[in-house]
Amino acid sequence: MRSRFSFLLLTVALLGFGCGPEAAPAPTVAVTPQEMTETIYTSFVINVHDFSQPEKSIATINRIIDLHEKYQVPVDIYLTDAMARIFDDDKALIERLKTSPVVAISYHLRQPTPYYSGFHQEEFKAMDSNELLAALREYETHAVDLVTGKTTSEHGGYEHVKELIGYPPYVVSQAAGPGVIPEALAQVYKEMGAVCSLKHGVVSKLGDMSNGLCLRPEDVEVKVYNPTGVISAEDMISRHLAEVSTRPAFMNLKWHDNNFYSSGTNWAGIYYEPGQKGDALRDPPYDLSLWTTSETNKSEAEQNIQWDRYEDVLNYVKSHPETFTAINARDVINLLAGINQ
């Protein structure tokens, strides 16, 4: 196992796979040969998308960073175009996102970006290759109007997040499925400096590729926000690790900002007909007030359960270095580049 994994790292380092050194600052973990063969690489993944309750989202991200700095455990924070522009008004938070030694920033899509998976992609599918690339570049350099789904004159997209935090967000979410849109979008992201992309619902090994981008490795995804009631970190994680028979393995622990204070999502009510998410799309202009039809705030007791669970998981991972190596996207890229062989 050890020689095969070391060979993979060396191969990735020699070929590059688009992972230039300028995209990989100094590592935040020290990887030993023993860890490289036996460990569970563990990432805390926070997807930020709740533009309807920005104050709650900002408070949540600050509290998450507080906890990760307390435990000295890395964290991945994925920003959408809309949330990056909201956070841009909070200079203190932006400074934390840029300078906290535990934070790595990545980028993901949400509605009403039209090439979001299963959304209003018809116009893009009808374009030739040059038109498609130009349209995608327009969206990834300009802000998206949440009411119309169209770009505005304001700076936005992936390029805005890149300038806001001072480096290209490491991982991007691609438009799902085969075809010209995911391929073209990956090309645009790669041109702008992205290194990795992600795919949901599939096992992705270190060094796997998709449309010219490294895939974020994932042997098991744990949606830690899903269980209701109290469940220990050990019970939850042990159940999922039972699914993984090989080492090293990559485990991603997933939350959204609104999981800590609400149930449902704002965009399900705004961009989809009630009860028909994924089937019946609303057409623009969108009524942003409809977020209350699909997102309900949790009670204080329910919020405390989520926060207690989060800290329990943090403590469990931190307290078992013989099993877990906590990493973020920056560390993944360093592994891909062959650093710390």
Per-residue confidence (pLDDT) for residue 20, from 0 to 100: 41
Cα-trace Rg, the chain: 20
**Rounded Cα–Cα distance for residues 14 and 17 (Å):** 9
Q: What is the largest CA-CA distance in the chain?
A: 57
Q: How many CB atoms lie within 10 A of CB 265?
A: 22
Per-residue confidence (pLDDT) for residue 1, from 0 to 100: 41
Per-residue confidence (pLDDT) for residue 5, from 0 to 100: 41
pLDDT digits (tens, 9 = 90+) for 291-312: 999 999 999 999 999 999 999 9
Cα–Cα distances (Å) from 177 to 81, 210, 226, in that order, read 22, 11, 25
Cα–Cα distances (Å) from 248 to 4, 15, 33, 236, 337, in that order, read 11, 22, 11, 19, 17
Q: What angle do CA 237, 240, 246 make, to 5 degrees?
A: 110
Q: Residue written as tokens 């299963």?
A: 118
Distance of CA 196 to the CA centre of its chain: 11
Say what the pTM is.
0.90
Question: Terminus-to-terminus CA distance in the chain, angstroms?
Answer: 14
Per-residue confidence (pLDDT) for residue 26, from 0 to 100: 44
Per-residue confidence (pLDDT) for residue 19, from 0 to 100: 46
- Return the H-helix or E-strand segment holding 151: strand 151-155
Per-residue confidence (pLDDT) for residue 175, from 0 to 100: 59
| Residue among 168, 180, 173, 166 at smallest CA distance from 127 | 180
Residues in the chain, pLDDT under 50: 1-27, 33-34, 339-341
Tokens, residue 123: 């116009």
Q: How many CB atoms lie within 10 A of CB 171?
A: 26
Per-residue confidence (pLDDT) for residue 180, from 0 to 100: 87
| Residue among 170, 174, 176 at smallest CA distance from 186 | 174
Tokens, residue 107: 């980028």
